[in-house]
Amino acid sequence: MGVAIETARLIIATPEAGRAQGALEFVRRNAAHLKPWSPPAPDGIDTLDHWLGVVETAQQALSAGTAVRLWLSPHDDAARVIGSIGYSQIHRGVFCNATLGYQIDAQCEGSGLMREALSASNAYMFGEQKLHRIAANYRPENVRSGRLLQRLGFTIEGYAKDYLFIDGAWRDHILTSKVNPAFEVSWIAGAAPRTVTPSAR
């Protein structure tokens, strides 16, 4: 089982083997576009075997409740990957928190697709995964990302010096978060989160 979210223009779903080639092509055509904002690429990222491994790892993490990874595809071409969203370092109990990361195809920037996708996936993480808080951090130079997070309701919490090793150096990051306004205290004890959601159109 996996996550399946549908919006007006997108299919947002757990990685699967049939879309691994699409993920590989996404990375290939966006290498220069993503480089300034990405950590060092792992060995083999330019191979289909790597992305088949990503599929397996993502499905295992979802089952374990430690991460939710999602690939974005347009309705008219489900095999084409045009972006990704990841909620990592998921903690339950009295923290109920995840860390958000995301990427969008250079050709799709400015179209509102990432805002559409994150609005739906954040709602899923709050409603179905029962999180209290989502953290999202970005480089100060990434003005577009900062504006997107602000529009989505994320609040700046701080500034971290030399936070992550990105594009060949340790980079400062602005720290933000969004809190679930509908969080129920009973969730701390922990009903198991569901991993499939109906259409969020």
- Write out the two tokens for 55: 């599929």
163-199 pLDDT per residue, tens:
999 999 999 999 999 999 999 999 997 644 544 444 4
* Count of beta carbons in the 10 Å neighbourhood of residue 23: 20
**Residue 105 within a domain:** yes
**Residue 35 within a domain:** yes
**Residue 197 within a domain:** no
**Residue 48 within a domain:** yes
Instruction: Give one DSSP letter per residue of 117-186, joined into a string.
Output: HHHHHHHHHHHTS--SEEEEEE-TT-HHHHHHHHHTT-EEEEEEEEEEEETTEEEEEEEEEEE-TT--GG
Tally of domains in the chain:
1
**Residue 191 within a domain:** no
Q: Are 102 and 114 in contact (CB under 8 A)?
A: yes
The DSSP secondary-structure symbol of 49 reads H
**Residue 90 within a domain:** yes
Task: Determine the Cα–Cα distance for residues 12 and 9; give it in Å rounded to an integer.
Answer: 10
Which residues 6+ apart lie within 8 Å of 55 measured at CB?
A: 15, 16, 17, 19, 20
Q: What is the CATH number of the domain that holds 99?
A: 3.40.630.30
Q: What is the pTM of this model?
A: 0.91
**Residue 196 within a domain:** no
Q: What value does the mean pLDDT take over residues 26-45?
A: 91
84-109 pLDDT per residue, tens:
999 999 999 999 999 999 999 999 99
Domain that holds residue 101: 4-185
| Pairing, β 133-138 against β 97-104 | parallel
